[in-house]
A = this chain, B = another copy of it.
Amino acid sequence: MFTALFDHIQKFITLEPSEIDILEACLTISKVKKKEHLLQEGQVCNNLYFILKGCARQYIINPKGVEQTLQFAVENWWITDYLSYHNTTPSHFYIQTVENCELIAIEKSTLESLLIEIPKLERYFRIVSQKSFGAAQMRIKFLFTMSAEERYHHFNNQNPEFVQRVPQYMLASYLDFSAEFMSKIRAGKV
């Protein structure tokens, strides 16, 4: 049931069977249809989401009214707005499923008590978030140093299967160019 999450956790720390029980008792699986929102701009983000199955994204609507994806999350990834979560401030982001999803939503109060009961989990979340921060830095590096076409090919090489899973216009915005330009890159017209 939650094995994917337990496996992920045990990559970084070792849980006792009793701790697994405690954890298990706190978790529930949500099935969420494609295109549903887990978080809307302006709401305070009160949950962490762990994707068991499917794909979600974090996006904004820019001043021209166009959606721009800032982050994707697939199986075994956490997604949330940590700034809104920690500061209890309205979020600047939407979080939405891109496919039908099975996910674990952990509420702030649940997580806080879990972290007290199983302090080792602090370590797990520390390592995961430090690695995520590192990945965000690499993302900024790629945005800074590569042309649109290079970003497309690079992403395509690194994530060939993933590219098939999401609409091109979402990927275009994630790579910071227009859907039209993506089309031209793919057609070799650039």
Contacts and interface: CB of A to CB of B under 8 A. Distances in A.
Interface of A: 58, 60, 62-63, 68, 70-71, 81-86, 92-93, 115, 119-120, 122-123, 125-127, 129-141, 143-145, 173, 176
A68 B129 contact: no
Q: Assembly of this chain: how many copies?
A: 2
A134 to B, nearest CB: 3
B145 A82 contact: no
B60 A141 contact: yes
20 contacts: A60-B141, A60-B144, A70-B137, A70-B140, A71-B137, A82-B130, A82-B131, A83-B131, A83-B137, A85-B134, A86-B130, A86-B131, A92-B141, A122-B122, A125-B130, A126-B126, A132-B133, A133-B136, A136-B137, A136-B140
